Amino acid sequence: MRIGFVLPQLGPAAGPDAIVHVAQRAEALAYDSVWVTERLLYPLNPQTPYPGTPDGLLPAAYKRALDPLETLTFTAAHTKRITLGTSVLDMPFYNPVVLARRLTTLDVFSGGRLRIGFGQGWSKDEYDAAGASPRGLGRRGDEFIQVLKTIWTTDPVEFHGRYFHIPKSIIQPKPVQKPHPPIYLAAFSPGALKRAATLANGWNPAGVPVDGMAQMMASLRSMAQAAGKDPASLELVVRANLMITTQPLGKERGIFSGAPEEIESDIKAVRTLGATELFFDATFSTGTRSENDFLRILEEIRRMI
């Protein structure tokens, strides 16, 4: 099981020095990957309540957010081995032709270290700001991924769909990784799970209990097999949103929350489940505000592993 860590890209610690120091320390500690996330804005009166807080307001860390792809490009220039992942880029915010060029460039600059997690977003305020419609996201998402794969694997490139059109064209260079960088989808609805099973390299869940992950992964593999795809090829790449406490929280706690011994039990359970990778986000853990806080948790997780 590969192990990763989310960079200090959000919140008060977010900045170039913290990103470089955490990424380089993760590489020195033999972590396999570092990750970034997407946050477009912090609505003061959110139209879509945030599900993780009693009042529906977003966590304060979201008030400061560096761009995910620029953060990874900067990280690529200061590291040599560690892979670089997004968890996740929200597809409705992007044009796939323009994004394909940015992702290809990052894969080339990093020597083939890019891993791409996609999602659909959830905030109406962000949809409005990006000029995106929440209608038809599933069909658009299917086509979005098909456009990326067409650009990355064919030359000349030509695509004519419902949402996107590319005239017969040369689009170079291609990514270093063949046939393309791995694609993971954060998916929970039946349609999104089918998209992950048939169009992606794997599933990127967060906040799902181990039993739920096992059931949903079994469903994903069945859908992959029905589509003529090798079900064993699907990766399970788990995002662990950490909430480390000094005292145990007991049976009612959420996954990857609680005292260190409870976090350790979750790590063991995910490993037993057969996860391909497990990466940790310390952004919202109690008292995480500085570069030193991220480095401390980075070391603590390495000891747990």
Whether residue 52 is predicted with pLDDT greater than 90 in this model: the reply is: no
Q: Which band of pLDDT confidence, cut at 50, 70 and 90, is reported for residue 205?
A: very high
Contacts (Cβ under 8 Å, ≥6 apart) of 250: 258
- Distance CA(250)–CA(292), nearest Å, equals 28
CATH number assigned to the domain comprising residue 59: 3.20.20.30
The structure's pTM equals 0.96
Residue 52 lies in a domain: yes
Residue 215: per-residue pLDDT: 97
Residue 99 lies in a domain: yes
Residue 163 lies in a domain: no
Q: How many helices (DSSP H) and strands (DSSP E) are in the chain? A: 9, 12
Residue 179: per-residue pLDDT: 97
Q: Which band of pLDDT confidence, cut at 50, 70 and 90, is reported for residue 209?
A: very high
- Within 10 A of 89 (CB to CB), how many other CB atoms are there? 21
- Distance CA(184)–CA(117), nearest Å, equals 5
Tokens of 252: 């009612």
Residue 168 lies in a domain: no
Residue 171 lies in a domain: no
Residue 46 lies in a domain: yes
What is the sign of the dihedral through the CA atoms of 225, 229, 233 and 237? negative
244-279: per-residue pLDDT in tens?
999 999 988 999 999 999 999 999 999 999 999 999
Whether residue 287 is predicted with pLDDT greater than 90 in this model: the reply is: no
What number of residues does the chain have?
A: 305
59-69: per-residue pLDDT in tens?
999 999 999 99
Query: Which DSSP state fits 54?
Result: T
Residue 157 lies in a domain: no
Mean pLDDT of the chain: 97
Q: How many domains does the chain have?
A: 1
Tokens of 153: 């694997």
101-137: per-residue pLDDT in tens?
999 999 999 999 999 999 999 999 999 999 999 999 9
> Does residue 280 contact residue 6 with C-beta atoms inside 8 Å?
yes
Residue 211: per-residue pLDDT: 97
Residues of the domain holding 233:
2-150+178-304
> Does residue 7 contact residue 35 with C-beta atoms inside 8 Å?
yes
- 156: exposed, middle or buried (Cβ count in 10 Å: 0-12, 13-18, 19+): exposed
Residue 62 lies in a domain: yes
